[in-house]
Amino acid sequence: MNTQASPDGGDERDNPWGQLVSLPDTQHLKPNVLFIDDDAYMRRLMTARFEHVGAEVEALPSAQAALVYLQNHRPDLIISDAVMPVMDGFDLCRRLKADPLLQTIPFVILTALARDLRQRSLLAGADDFLSKLEHEVVFRLRARLAFDLGVRSAALRTDPEPLREASLLVVSGSRVIHSQLETHLAKEGIQVRGAATLAEGLSLLRSGIPDVIALDLGFGPGEVLDWTRQVRDIPLFATLPVMVLAAKDEEGGLTELEPFIQDRLPKPLDGQESRHRVNLLLRIARM
C-alpha cells in the first residue's frame, strides 16, 4: 500500500484518521472553530479530529463558558456537544440563533447516531449535525462541509436569498430511490431528474447542469469512482456538489471516493435528512 508522509514527517499509517485533506479552494483561511463539550477527554479527541481536517479550534467545557467567550470573539463556526449539564447544546443553539449579533454564525450539534437527536438539532435551529460515531470518511466530509459553511458565512455575514428553482440529478438503478427523492423534495421546489444508469447520468449532465448530484453507490465502488473521476475531469462539472447514497454495508467504498464527493446520504432514505442534506449543499454552493 502506498503511504504519504504526514506534516510531522511520520507515516500516514500512524494517523488513525486517514490522510490529511486540504480545505476546498474556496477557503483561503483555516476556519476558526469554537468547540464545546463538558467531557475533557472528548474535548481533546474531537479537537484533534477537527484540527486534522484543517480547523483552528478553541475548546471550552460548557455553554456558559461559550457565552462569555462570545462576548469578545466571533468564531467562523460553533460546534457543540448535544448533552451537557445546566445548558445543553440544543438550548445553547436556540439562544444564539435568537441573538441578532450571533445568529449568522453557523451552529453544528455533535450527536450520537440516534435519529431523534438529529431531529432535535434541526428543530433547535442548528445548521447541521455531526455524529462522533459516524464512519470516519463521513465524519471528515461533514466536518469539511461545516468548515466551508463557516468560512463562507463569515465572509458574507448573511445568507444569500433562497433559490426559487433548483435541480437535483439522481443517478440510481432503484426506482424506489427516484420516487422517494421526488417525494421528499417536492415541497422544497427542487426539480428531480433521474437516470437509471451511469451512462444515462452522464448524458443528462451534458444536456443540462444540475445544482446537486445524488449518486447511488449501489452501482459498485469501482464504477462510481470511475464515473466521478470522469465527471470531475470535465471543467463544467468540476465543482458540482456530489452526494453519494450509501447504505451502512457500502461505507467501505467511500474511502477512494472521498476526494471527489461532498457528502453522503444514508440508505434507506429518510425524508427529513434528504431535504436537509440537499438544501445544505445548495446553500453552500450559492455562497
- In tens, the pLDDT along 138-158 reads 999 999 999 999 998 888 866
Separation CA 165–CA 185 (nearest Å): 12
Within 10 angstroms of residue 278's Cβ, the number of other Cβ atoms is: 25
Q: What is the pLDDT of residue 157?
A: 66
Q: What is the pLDDT of residue 36?
A: 98
Residues 6+ apart with CB under 8 A from 114: none
Q: Is the confidence at residue 71, as pLDDT, over 70?
A: yes
Q: How many CA atoms lie within 13 A of 81 on its CB side?
A: 23
The domain segmentation of the chain, as residue ranges, is 29-156, 166-285
Edge to edge, the sheet with strand 166-171 lists 190-195, 166-171, 212-216, 242-247, 263-267
Q: Considering only 21-35, 49-63, 90-104, 199-213, which range has the smallest mean pLDDT?
A: 21-35
Residues in the chain, total? 287
Mean of the per-residue pLDDT values of the chain: 89
Q: Is the confidence at residue 233, as pLDDT, over 70?
A: yes
CATH fold group of domain 166-285: Rossmann fold (3.40.50)
Residues 244-273, mean pLDDT to the nearest whole number: 96
Instruction: Tell me if domain 29-156 and domain 166-285 are identical in fold.
Output: yes
Q: Is the confidence at residue 29, as pLDDT, over 80?
A: no
Q: What is the pLDDT of residue 160?
A: 62
Q: What is the pLDDT of residue 113?
A: 66
Residues 153-164, mean pLDDT to the nearest whole number: 71
Q: What is the pLDDT of residue 163?
A: 61
Q: What is the pLDDT of residue 126?
A: 97
Q: What is the pLDDT of residue 187?
A: 86
CATH fold group of domain 29-156: Rossmann fold (3.40.50)
Q: Residue 164: which pLDDT band, with cuts at 50, 70 and 90?
A: low
Residues 189-194, mean pLDDT to the nearest whole number: 94
Separation CA 242–CA 29 (nearest Å): 23
What Cα–Cα distance (Å) separates residue 148 from each residue in 22, 24, 116, 153?
12, 8, 26, 8
Separation CA 287–CA 285 (nearest Å): 6
Separation CA 60–CA 40 (nearest Å): 9
Residues 271-278, mean pLDDT to the nearest whole number: 95
Give 218: exposed, middle or buried? Use CB within 10 Å, 0-12, 13-18, 19+. middle
Q: What is the pLDDT of residue 104?
A: 93
Residues 95-99, mean pLDDT to the nearest whole number: 97
195: cell is 437516470
Q: What is the pLDDT of residue 3?
A: 37
Within 10 angstroms of residue 180's Cβ, the number of other Cβ atoms is: 20
Residues 6+ apart with CB under 8 A from 122: 129, 272, 276
If we measure between CA atoms, which residue out of 133, 93, 92 comes closest to residue 112? 133
Q: Which residues of 228-238 are buried (b: 16+ CB within 10 A; e: fewer)?
A: beebbeeeebe
Separation CA 255–CA 248 (nearest Å): 13
* DSSP β-bridge partners for residue 98: none
- In tens, the pLDDT along 102-126 reads 999 999 999 886 778 888 999 999 9
Number of helices and strands in the chain (H, E): 10, 10
If we measure between CA atoms, which residue out of 199, 242, 239 comes closest to residue 223? 199
Evaluate whether 5 touches 12 at the Cβ level (below 8 Å): yes
**The dihedral formed by the CA atoms of 136, 138, 140 and 144, expressed in degrees to the nearest 10:** -170
pTM of structure: 0.87
Pairing of strands 242-247, 212-216: parallel
Output DSSP code: residue 5: B
